[in-house]
């Protein structure tokens, strides 16, 4: 486990091209252990592309990805998950026909580090109970874990997806627009989950267009514009207006 304040996860000079489209252009950024970094930018700025490079879903065209100072080449999301990097994608999928607890345990046949790791294989009933308890512990109020996800509201599904990611993460958690489609109370819960992940020493990367949430929960903000980092500064240096101006490029930064 990294000491608080140490650089945990980092990209250096990362570029990603899709054919002629340059989605990321020489991007460098990092997250420390025990830090929440906000990643913001207008539609198409490159946030989700960066998330996919960090999560192993896409390979960068050039540049480096380093976990705890060691260069890594993720060939799939599974590689990054194995190493302790959990990602909630913007268009995250749960398996709707399965129960809450089955979704929490989906694809976790092996014993993993993290809050749920000590459980290993368990009978269905105790798996339901433990999934429920552990989601609650990370601050997600979920309905009965035995219920099918197809019976949950959109916001409740989102809560399960977030709880799953946070519960399994052992180093880094990346949340791409996790408060979308959530009501005010559920959004507050998600912000609280990020705070508790940070207190446990995880590095948290939070992508959002909801600037008050970004200003409230992050320690530092990285602003992307047209695939480039235009600002990387402590959150205390921004207010809502200056952050918006930096994102759009319509006022001096």
Ligand X SMILES: Nc1ncnc2c1ncn2[C@@H]1O[C@H](COP(=O)(O)OP(=O)(O)OP(=O)(O)O)[C@@H](O)[C@H]1O
Residue 18 makes contact with ligand X by CB under 6 A: yes
CB of 94 to ligand X, least distance (A): 20
Q: Which residues contact 253 (CB under 8 A, 6 or more apart)?
A: 230, 231, 242, 245, 246
**CA 121 to CA 127: how far, in whole Å?**
8
**CB-wise, 21 or 144, nearer to ligand X?**
21
| CA atoms of 28 and 143, how far apart (whole Å) | 40
- The answer to whether 23 contacts ligand X (rule: CB under 6 A) is yes
The answer to the question of residue 220 lying near ligand X (CB under 6 A) is no
- By rule CB under 6 A, what count of residues binds ligand X? 12
Q: Which of 8, 9, 48, 213 binds ligand X (CB under 6 A)?
A: 48
| Smallest distance, ligand X to C-beta of residue 224, A | 7
DSSP state, 25? E
Q: CB of residue 196 vs ligand X: minimum separation in angstroms?
A: 26
Tell me whether residue 44 or residue 245 sits nearer to ligand X (CB atom).
44
d(CA 188, CA 32): 23
The alpha carbon of 167 is separated from its chain's Cα centroid by a whole number of angstroms, namely 12
Q: Based on CB atoms, which residue is closest to ligand X, 43 or 252?
A: 43
C-alpha to C-alpha distances, 123 to 27, 64, 144, 177, nearest whole angstrom: 45, 42, 16, 34
38 binds ligand X (CB under 6 A): no
- Is position 20 an interface residue for ligand X (rule: CB under 6 A)? no
In angstroms, the Cα distances linking 246 to 14, 39, 150 are 21, 12, 40
HSE at residue 142, side-chain half, CA atoms within 13 A, is 34
Does position 45 interact with ligand X (CB under 6 A)? The reply is yes
* Helix 154-168 with 184-199: angle, nearest 10 deg: 0
- Give Cα 89 to chain centroid, integer Å: 7
For ligand X, the binding residues in 68-127 under the rule CB under 6 A are: 90
Instruction: Choose the one of ligand X, Mg ion, none that binds residue 21, judging by a C-beta under 5 to 8 angstroms depending on kind.
Output: ligand X
Q: Closest separation between CB of residue 222 and ligand X, Å?
A: 12
3-state secondary structure of 23: strand
The yes or no reply on residue 60 touching ligand X (CB under 6 A) is: no
Q: Is residue 34 involved in binding ligand X (CB under 6 A)?
A: no
Any contact of residue 21 with ligand X (CB under 6 A)? yes
Cβ atoms 243, 251 nearer than 8 A: no
Q: Is 47 a binder of ligand X (CB under 6 A)?
A: yes
The option from Mg ion, ligand X, none interacting with 18 (CB < 5 to 8 A, set by class) reads ligand X
Q: For the chain, give the longest Cα–Cα distance.
A: 59
Q: Residue 24 Cβ, how far from ligand X at the closest point, in Å?
A: 8
Under the rule (CB under 6 A), what is the footprint of ligand X?
18, 21, 23, 41, 43-49, 90
């Amino acid at each position: 486990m990294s000491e608080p304040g140490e650089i945990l996860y980092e990209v250096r000079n990362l570029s990603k091209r899709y054919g002629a489209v340059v989605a990321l252009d020489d991007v460098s950024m990092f997250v420390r252990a025990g830090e929440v970094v906000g990643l913001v930018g207008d539609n198409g700025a490159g946030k989700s592309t960066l998330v996919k490079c960090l999560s192993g879903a896409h390979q960068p065209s050039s540049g480096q990805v380093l976990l705890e100072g060691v260069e890594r080449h993720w060939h799939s999301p599974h590689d990054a998950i194995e190493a302790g990097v959990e990602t909630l994608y913007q268009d995250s999928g749960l398996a709707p026909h399965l129960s809450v607890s089955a979704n929490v345990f989906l694809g976790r046949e092996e014993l993993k580090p993290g809050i749920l790791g000590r459980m290993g294989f368990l009978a269905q009933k105790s798996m339901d109970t433990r999934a429920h308890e552990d989601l609650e512990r990370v601050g997600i109020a979920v309905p009965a874990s035995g219920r099918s996800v197809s019976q949950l509201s959109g916001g409740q599904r989102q809560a399960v997806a977030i709880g799953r990611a946070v519960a399994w993460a052992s180093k880094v958690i990346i949340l791409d627009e996790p408060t979308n489609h959530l009501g005010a109370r559920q959004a507050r819960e998600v912000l609280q989950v990020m705070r508790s992940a940070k207190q446990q020493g995880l590095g948290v990367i939070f992508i959002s267009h909801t600037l008050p949430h970004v200003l409230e929960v992050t320690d530092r903000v990285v602003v992307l514009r047209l695939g480039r980092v235009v600002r990387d500064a402590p959150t205390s240096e921004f207010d809502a207006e200056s952050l918006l101006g930096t994102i759009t490029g319509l006022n001096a930064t």
